[in-house]
Amino acid sequence: MANNDIIIKALRAVGEEDAEYLVSLIGSTPGFPKEGIIFRDFMPVLADARGLDILMRGFAATLPVAPEDFDVVAGLESRGFLFGPALASRFGKGFVAIRKAGKLPPPVFAESYDLEYGSASVEVEQNAIHPGERVLIVDDLIATGGTARAGADLIKKAGGIVAGFSFLMELDGLDGCSRLSEAPISTLIAMPA
């Protein structure tokens, strides 16, 4: 995928100059965490005041649903915690953390899911989501969709409704968005896997 293809989604949200600047901050490390994977590092975006501002404006401009169509933002551990609260605050919403198993005090709802090398589980506190509450799920990237799928199932188990999914990056070719068909999805940037 050409650099121009990567920028196109962000371009629509924040303009050409800011889109190019945002993408220039995202690092790529081939072979990490294992051979055959390109690690996409957006931490330099957070360390840069202009980059962080562009990121948050981009997230806000590309919501998959209108702000009045969700009640709370849920961030997936761990990088969804970094910008989920800021996004929630921007729209006058609360924030709920979807954590890895064993990180929250009981009582919790839990949801397990398969990974290529085993299984994992995510949890949410039982009193964090109220029945019928509409939840926007936020994370840094969508790859195969396993964690986001488990987060959506967890929201439903807690009595909430998945209003949409919002990701900074989509890794093309991994088809993760197809696992999240029940609600609208937005991504700010698409990059090759």
pLDDT at 115 over 80: no
Residue type at 21 in one-letter notation: Y
The reported pLDDT for the residue numbered 10 is 66
Is residue 116 part of the annotated active site? The answer reads yes
The reported pLDDT for the residue numbered 9 is 65
Is residue 16 part of the annotated active site? The answer reads no
pLDDT at 140 over 70: yes
- Average pLDDT for the chain: 88
Strand spans (E) along 47-158: 72-76, 94-100, 108-115, 118-125, 134-142
Does CATH number 3.40.50.300 belong to domain 3-192?
A: no
Which pLDDT band, with edges at 50, 70 and 90, does 16 fall under?
Answer: confident
pLDDT at 133 over 50: yes
Dihedral sign for Cα 120, 178, 188, 153, please.
negative
Task: Return d(Cα 77, Cα 91) in angstroms, integer.
Answer: 21
Structural tokens at position 109: 């709802």
Span 123-151, mean pLDDT? 94
The reported pLDDT for the residue numbered 3 is 42
Q: Note the pLDDT tens digit of each residue in 47-95.
A: 999 999 999 999 899 899 999 999 999 999 988 999 899 999 999 999 9
Q: Note the pLDDT tens digit of each residue in 17-39.
A: 998 899 899 988 988 888 888 88
Identify the active-site residue in 12, 57, 79, 90.
79
Global pTM? 0.90
- C-alpha distances (whole Å) from 179 to each of 20, 122, 150, 155, 184 are 30, 17, 10, 15, 12
